[in-house]
Amino acid sequence: MRTRPLKVALLGCGVVGSEVARIMTTHADDLAARIGAPVELAGVAVRRPGKVREGIDPSLVTTDATALVKRGDIDVVVEVIGGIEPARTLITTAFEHGASVVSANKALLAQDGAALHAAAERNGKDLYYEAAVAGAIPLIRPLRESLAGDKVNRVLGIVNGTTNFILDKMDSTGAGYQEALDEATALGYAEADPTADVEGFDAAAKAAILAGIAFHTRVRLDDVYREGMAEVTAADFRSAKEMGCTIKLLAICERSKDGASVTARVHPAMIPLTHPLASVRGAYNAVFVESDAAGQLMFYGPGAGGSPTASAVLGDLVAVCRNRRGGATGPGESAYADLTVSPMGEVVTRYHISLDVADKPGVLAQVATVFAEHGVSIDTVRQQGKDGEASLVVVTHRASDASLSGTVEALRKLDTVRGVASIMRVEGE
């Protein structure tokens, strides 16, 4: 066994960072056996040095993260501070001073992944980030290594535990959105400011990373269409149940049928109860992958939390240390395909549209005419009326987002249409 330990610098010691440090200490012998050399926590960069951190030698704690990554004797930097800066500068500085990097920073990777990969390659170092998407679920490595010889066509997943808990609660109890969000907050699943989760920002960053790896194409956060879930109502769930569906906030990355382009999007969608993702409950995550040779694969497990995320970080740490010990690097960025990233207007899917209309003869004919004029084919129609008012639910065959938008705009101009109660995509067929 190698005599000199592999030295690790930890940037951040919050929920995830402290768990990484604990596992490194309690599992030190096992980690050394798996790597072929011991690993040593050589420094911990924090913002509040006076806080008591159980199990961490106070002499290792510093507020000077830059000096830590510049030391030159650090083999691996583990970055779990999050955000764009100073994480970006610290990571590139680590590469320049001889360290490989393990990161859980989905926002930074979605925004600047290409630049970070380039910096790693220039310096002959590793950049691993399994923990950036879906917590403990092995997903990044299967996509970029296990499926490297296959052609991935679609990645469809629940990648945010907070939103899945809320929607599952609405589905199972009939609760409204705010009531379910309040419960998620009380249980610690939702942050005091839940915007990043419920508005889809968190899932969009993960979708960008997944699409880039799956399709060997650079996909940035700005390329991902994003729609939050605050407008989902109990009535939407009732409609979904009538169709044999439920509602999930999905990250969807797809290759076009001609193979020339890809799309990445995050939005609420109805999925059939027969689809494997429909049974994912509570705060769990699951990702469904469709490829040419392997067929359909599903990855399922806890998508957040200190221990699950730390598990993914430690898995990367072992892999990077093994590479370091062998004088090699693992797979870097693969963007050779350079496919076009199409806008949301070109995405084709089914739609569920609920309209408030006047309860009188001829309304259905008017609505059907509008759909026909915009080239949107209707699959089913359900109408209920009472006391001069009615609700009309239309489910379309597959149509582009652009054509559906034109249809809805025209419907709003009909004097018999009082309003568009909801529009939701139908996925997972």
| Residues acting as catalytic residues | 206
**Cross-strand pairs, 158:** 286
8 A C-beta contact, residue 174 and residue 240? no
Dihedral sign for Cα 48, 54, 58, 64, please: negative
For the chain, the farthest-separated pair of C-alpha atoms sits apart, in whole angstroms, at 86
Dihedral sign for Cα 345, 349, 350, 352, please: negative
Reading phi first (left if > 0) and then psi (alpha if -120 to 50, else beta), residue 387 is in left
The two tokens of residue 334 are 């693969």
Q: Which residues of 354-387 are buried (b: 16+ CB within 10 A; e: fewer)?
A: bbebbbeeebeeebeebbeebebeeeeeeeeeee
Question: Residue 143 has what DSSP assignment?
Answer: I
Dihedral sign for Cα 367, 369, 372, 373, please: negative
What gap in Å lies between CA 398 and CA 302, rounded to an integer?
33
